[in-house]
C-alpha cells in the first residue's frame, strides 16, 4: 500500500475503534466481532480503491456495482423499522436494554417481525455482506477473496452472537422467529 493508503487506513481504523470502544471492551459480544468485520472490509476497500472505476463495463465491475447498489436496500428498510417499531412507547414493553455496548438503534424493546425482518433477521449485516463482496468484485484476486471471506466469517459470527443475545432478551419469541426467517438472504441463508 502507498503511504496515503496507510494514512487512510490508520485514520479510519481510529474512527472504528472510537465508535466500537464499548464493544471492544466486551470480547464475545456481537459488536466485538463486528469491529473485525469492519476492519477487513476497510482493508479490502482501501486495497481495491485504485480499481474502483477500471474497466467500467467488465462483468466483474457490473457485479460489483449491482452488489453495492443492492446493499442500500436492506440497511434502509431495516433502519426505518428499527427506528419506528423497535422502541414503541407501549405499556407492555419489556425493560429497556441497558447494555451500554449497544448502539441506540440496537436497544430495541420490541421484536420486529414485519417488513424486511419477516424474511431476514439481520438486514444490516446483509448490507455489509453485499458491500464486502461489492468491494471484492472491484478487483478479483486471491488476497481480496481472503479479505472478503474473513469479513464474511466475522459477520456470520457477529450475527450468531447477536442471535444469542436476542434469545436471552426476547426469549422463546425470538427462537420462534428464528424458525421462520433466514439469517441474511431471504429463503436461502
pTM of the model: 0.89
pLDDT at 188: 79
pLDDT at 89: 47
Sequence spans of domains, the chain: 3-180
DSSP, collapsed to helix, strand or coil, labels residue 184 as coil
Residue pair 166/174 in contact by the 8 Å Cβ criterion: yes
How many helices (H) and strands (E) are present in the chain, helices listed first? 7, 0
DSSP bridge partners of 120: 182
Q: Note down pLDDT in tens along the chain; length 189 residues.
A: 688 989 999 999 999 999 999 999 999 999 999 999 999 999 999 999 999 999 999 999 999 999 999 999 999 999 999 888 876 544 455 555 556 666 666 667 788 999 999 999 999 999 999 999 999 999 999 999 999 999 999 999 999 999 999 999 999 999 999 999 999 988 776
pLDDT at 110: 84
Whole-number Å distance between alpha carbons of 26 and 129: 23
pLDDT at 186: 84
Whole-number Å distance between alpha carbons of 183 and 77: 16
Q: Which residues contact 105 (CB under 8 A, 6 or more apart)?
A: 79, 82, 83, 86
Supply the DSSP string of 71-109, one letter for each residue: THHHHHHHHHHHHHHSS---TTPPPPP--TTS-GGG--S
Whole-number Å distance between alpha carbons of 151 and 125: 11
Amino acid at each position: 500500500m502507498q503511504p496515503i493508503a496507510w494514512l487512510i487506513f490508520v485514520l479510519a481504523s481510529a474512527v472504528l475503534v472510537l465508535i466500537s470502544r464499548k464493544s471492544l471492551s466486551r470480547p464475545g459480544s456481537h459488536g466485538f466481532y463486528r469491529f473485525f468485520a469492519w476492519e477487513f472490509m476497510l482493508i479490502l476497500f482501501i486495497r481495491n480503491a485504485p480499481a474502483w472505476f477500471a474497466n467500467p463495463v467488465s462483468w466483474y465491475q457490473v457485479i460489483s456495482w449491482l452488489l453495492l447498489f443492492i446493499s442500500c436496500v436492506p440497511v434502509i428498510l431495516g433502519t426505518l423499522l428499527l427506528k419506528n417499531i423497535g422502541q414503541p412507547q407501549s405499556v407492555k414493553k419489556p425493560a429497556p436494554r441497558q447494555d451500554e455496548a449497544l448502539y441506540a438503534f440496537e436497544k430495541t424493546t420490541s421484536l420486529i417481525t414485519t417488513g424486511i425482518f419477516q424474511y431476514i433477521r439481520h438486514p444490516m449485516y446483509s448490507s455489509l455482506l453485499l458491500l464486502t463482496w461489492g468491494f471484492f468484485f472491484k478487483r478479483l484476486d486471491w488476497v481480496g477473496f481472503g479479505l472478503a471471506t474473513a469479513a464474511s466469517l466475522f459477520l456470520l459470527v457477529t450475527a450468531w452472537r447477536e442471535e444469542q443475545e436476542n434469545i436471552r432478551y426476547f426469549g422463546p419469541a425470538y427462537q420462534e422467529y428464528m424458525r421462520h426467517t433466514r439469517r441474511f438472504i431471504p429463503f436461502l441463508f
